[in-house]
Structure 1
Amino acid sequence: MIDSMKEARFPAMTVTDPARFGRVAVLLGGTSSEREVSLDSGAAVLAALQSRGVDAHAVDGIPALVDEIRAGKVDRVFNILHGSHGGGEDGVLQGVLDQLGVPYTGSGVLGSALSMDKIRTKQVWIAEGLPTPRFIRIPAGGDVRAAAFALGFPVFLKPSSEGSSVGVARILDESALDAAEKIAGEYGGEMLMEQMVRGDEFSVPVIGDRALPSIRIVPKGEWYDYHAKYIADDTQYITPGLEGDDEAEIRRLAHAGFVSAGCSGWGRVDVMRDVERGFQLIEVNTAPGMTSHSLVPKSARVLGIEFDELCWRILEQTMGEGDLA
């Protein structure tokens, strides 16, 4: 069954000789708040590519990458930087590489910049008629209390442009507002407050024009926070997360959310199923984690695609028609 699913959803690989990729920089680390996760992801990707004979080497951060490109040491980039402000998901890196004429994995400038901004992504989804929880934008120094009372408890407060559950506060009632205000003050930037979805949590990877099997996330604690994502060993991941029409619908919705946000290449869309409102798009990650706890490899494995092949297939998408001729 898995073999037939793999054949139906994934064509034969377009590159069979690793030398065709040339010199590949696995871009990791950087200076964002997600540096440590990126280092772990990058180490795993680097080992996988090298195991298949790819001439790959690690490069830590964007300035070092630019130096290597100028020195003629890079033909293409596997971007596994996470986050913004020195991470590689906010469009800055993509603009640099476009100008330098170096192909790279993942979304381009528009998709990267837009999806890093949770508020603007949700505005696009609403304009496209796609479901997402109600929210309020809170500017730097804005009134967290007023936003919470306007939406009604419970709500989530999160930075508009961070990932990996960095700076997220769960506000169940008025007693949690003091702590939430402190988090917002420490972050100092624009915040998103959105209605809490009561229901199951899912994530749907996307590679090229295909949505992979969904993953239902069942943390042992009350919610899927940083600890549950990267540290705990008791979080359950059920793949595929749904069956039949429900599974088809969540994949369709995730792919629509991915494309409408201007994304391409590969990524992951987080979705929740509210007990009353059904599926709700939460956010897009354009350079998902690739660690032992990461979701994209778990989903790909259901289709018979192991980690090294997954990295190869992601890298393949950097090859233009001229490269494949």
Structure 2
Amino acid sequence: MTSLDPRKQAILQAVIVEYVGGALPVASELIVGKYELGVKSATVRNELADLATLGYLEQPHTSAGRIPSDAGYRYYVDHLIVPRPVPEPAKLRVRSATERGEVLQSVLRDTMGALGRLTQMLAVAATFRESSATVRSALVSALGPERLMLMLVLSNGHVVNRLIEGPAGLTLEDVGQVNDLLASAAVGKPIRQAARGKAPSAGSAAPDKLLATIWANLRTVGQELTQGLLILEGQEFLYAQPEFQRNLNLLGEMLESLSGTDVLYDALGSPTETQTVTIGRENRSEKLHPFTLVRRSFFVGTSEAGVIALVGPTRMRYETSIPLVTFTAQALSDSLTRSFG
């Protein structure tokens, strides 16, 4: 990510603030008239062009102003954002919601309902089933040209056998090297921890492709063993967002697809996701490219019980959304620990 000088930062921030507020492309004249930058419109136009060349802004069509790109929002979140404190009335509504239910599902539904109404976005909660199972053994066995069997034995007695495809050119020596790396990185660790992060590297193409396939399967196994509830509240708020109103049928299809598949659960619960904010095309699934996800884990005691998230357009008020999700996750953790810890 290219570093920006203070003037470019100020102009990028101005574009984001104006676009988030109005959902319309931002022209140089608006920035000059509203922000005290001490430069003329021509200078701002040149800076906007530079920011577009760097990938931080986009121009919907030649006669329009600029809008932020995913990279522009990322720069803003990482370098420019000034988080706003959560207002006391919002805190009260969240705390009240976390304390109303008597069972986990109702607590989560009430809390996500409050979060969705406060932000006018989709609020989601995903729970994990507790699984302390560790990997007792892990082995890949060649069955034939480009066909292998991944065999996992877990400490709880669960046995997993997965047929996987191997890359072209894979040798038996490569398979032996992969097994050594697999044992070193996975055996003796909880299945979700074993799958966290990137696959180890053997330093050559064919083994590395096989290791990437193995780690994808490890993530799937970990999710299958720990997947619990998926609760969505506030889908109706997304229909009011200007960028989605242009094609409501498409939005409806996307939401139906997200709620009816593992795409959203995987995005929330994947142990490889270390970012708490993923913007547009940073999301692995193409179905999530129109959205930003703001995520935080919640806990019962010291055990991670799940994840909550806001799902909204990339044109999101990050300075208020991120602190509110953080507060909600903490309030939810406190309430669940008192009730179930």
Fold match (TM-score > 0.5): no
Larger Rg: 2
Q: For the superposition of Structure 1 and Structure 2, which TM-score range results when normalised by the shorter chain? A: under 0.3
Give 1 or 2: higher helix fraction: 2
Question: What TM-score do you get using the length of structure 1 for normalisation?
Answer: 0.27
